[in-house]
Amino acid sequence: MSERIVIGTRGSALARWQADHIGEALRAGNPGLVVEQEIIVTEGDRRSSGLLADFGGKGLWVDEIERALTERRVDLAVHSLKDVPAGLAAGLGIAAIPRRASPRDALVSRSGAGLAALPAGARVGTSSLRRVLQLRLLRPDIEVEILRGNVDTRLRKVSEGVVDAAVLAVAGLTRLGHAARITEEFTPEQMLPAIGQGALALETRNDDERLRRLCRGLGDAEAEATVAAERALLAALEAGCRTPLAGHAEVRGQRLVLRALVGRPDGSEVLRESLEGDMSEAAAVGAEVARRLLARGADRILAELG
């Protein structure tokens, strides 16, 4: 690797913040390193309305960036890990997971009311089927509406009354300086987070050994263990974007606890599992939780929803 690297990133404010954050960390540990960015418009960026599942799912956010990596137009991709499918493009790998931000979800309401205090029929926006399901479990009397757009766009739609409230990731709100807009932060017991939420993935070409070593200097053992468990769950379930799926791992000492949920968007069927295991066997914990969910009927839900 030369003394210059190019980070491929989407053009949203959050994606740019993430790329800047990683670029600064790389420069801090490697004086003289020049870090540049190339903005890449993904299919997900071009689809401004409707459910992503209708257009092909999670790969919409990363496919073009992975193509730029493969074609050597960029050297490093910085992704929100929750947007990264279980399978990566050939020849690419995740070199490191830096320290993880909060994986939790938050409510932002126009009135300042928490979820329990919203009136019946209140309109709450999200584009995540995972959140749709759990909102309906918590408040079956509210209206859940599909709300797309970047963080600033969704906050503006709340302020303008397009919806009464919206659910967003705590990490994204905090990174962009919007923590004060949070009305209520959900516990994992209330709303189980998305797989990889709050974590960043540093994706490189597998043959770029020098860059991979530099990225490894930013890796965090606890973040990588929790992500390993959650992504093993995702891979074993082979879940599509039409099936609400949540997975959240926590490290307690040298032990790891993984909780997972699979269900139907309308809340008519919900399966939950949890398992504790050794931190060093995080991926095995994820695979076992998936096996238990499949044995209890998740395979049927996945087959029916696609």
- Is residue 226 included in any domain, yes or no? no
- Is residue 224 included in any domain, yes or no? no
Residue 297 and residue 277 in one domain: yes
| Position 200 pLDDT exceeds 90 | yes
Provide the β-strand partners of residue 35: 5
CATH of the domain at 204: 3.40.190.10
The helix or strand, by DSSP H or E, that contains position 248, with its residue range, turns out to be strand 245-252
Domain count, the chain: 3
**Tokens describing residue 281:** 């066997």
Residue 23 and residue 76 in one domain: yes
User: What secondary structure letter does DSSP report for 295?
Assistant: I
Q: Which of 236, 248, 284 is nearest to 130 (CA)?
A: 248
- Is residue 190 included in any domain, yes or no? no
| Position 53 pLDDT exceeds 90 | no
Residue 91 and residue 109 in one domain: no
- Is residue 73 included in any domain, yes or no? yes
Is 141 among the residues known to form the active site?
no
pLDDT at 40: 93
Please write the tens of the pLDDT for every residue from 69-102.
999 999 999 999 999 998 999 999 999 999 999 9
Instruction: Considering the candidates 75, 83, 105, 164, report the single residue annotated as catalytic.
Output: 83
Helix (H, G, I), strand (E, B) or coil at 183: coil
Residue 129 and residue 148 in one domain: yes
pLDDT at 1: 45
Structural domain containing residue 283: 234-305
Please write the tens of the pLDDT for every residue from 254-263.
999 999 999 9
Provide the β-strand partners of residue 250: 257
Are 168 and 196 in contact, with CB atoms under 8 Å apart? no
